[in-house]
Amino acid sequence: MSPILTTHDLSFAAIRYPDLTFQRQGINVIHGPSGCGKSTLLRLCNRTLVPHTGCIRLDEQDIRQRDPLQLRRDILLAGQDVFLFDGSIADNFRQFYALREEAEPQESGMRRFLDLCACPLPPETPCGSLSGGERQRVFLAVCLSFVPRILLLDEPTSALDGETARHLLDNLRAFAARHGMTLVLVSHDRAMTAPLADNLLELA
């Protein structure tokens, strides 16, 4: 099976990346020391940042040749710094779906995705009462509900205890396998994430 994403001669600011290959419909885990450009790489992959040199190819096509809005529907980024609207969790599902002009999910669907993301909160929960980790997982639940081709995850387990982190990662792996999704996961927790990787990418 051909890779879904590849990078070539990629650099941003002082960061130079090795040429990287991301496995299609697999879990691609990125490890590396602080400051090596892991989070920056995710933002380069969905064109929220533009490289200084080199290119990224999706299905062998330079992503600069694709419409950026459509690209970000295909390649969704669930980062550490998330944006949520005022109101409840359900309001956020509705508003993100309205932005994409798609029919909003039923509350039962919202609950299912919240459970998948180890965030079993009622949809009517006000977002102003959420912790930072809960906000990150609510945003992840919204992203996952769109079933993108590629989901970019930046430290999704950083605010979780070990048992909850394993539960979340197992859920993501199973969901991605059922729906043919590709996951790209940045993590500092090598012991937790390396065993899950179909493709392990090391940055220096």
Write the secondary structure of the chain as one string of H (helix), E (strand) and C (coil). CCCCEEEEEEEECCEECCCCEECCCCEEEEECCCCCCHHHHHHHHCCCCCCCEEEEEECCEEHHHCCHHHHHHHEEEECCCCCCCCCEHHHHHHHHHHHCCCCCCCHHHHHHHHHHCCCCCCCCCEHHHCCHHHHHHHHHHHHHHCCCCEEEEECCCCCCCHHHHHHHHHHHHHHHHHHCCEEEEECCCHHHHHHHCCEEEECC
Whole-structure pTM value: 0.95
Q: Copy the structure tokens of residue 79.
A: 């980062």
202, pLDDT greater than 90: yes
pLDDT of residue 76: 97
Q: Which amino acid would we find at residue 156?
A: P
Q: How far apart are CA 39 and CA 54, in angstroms?
A: 18
Mean pLDDT (whole number) for 144-155: 97
159 pLDDT tier (thresholds 50, 70, 90): confident
Higher-pLDDT residue of 96 and 1 is 96
Q: How far apart are CA 146 and CA 76, in angstroms?
A: 9
Mean of all residue pLDDT scores within the chain: 95
Do 105 and 92 form a contact (C-beta atoms < 8 A)?
no
188, pLDDT greater than 90: no
189 pLDDT tier (thresholds 50, 70, 90): confident
pLDDT of residue 128: 94
pLDDT of residue 71: 97
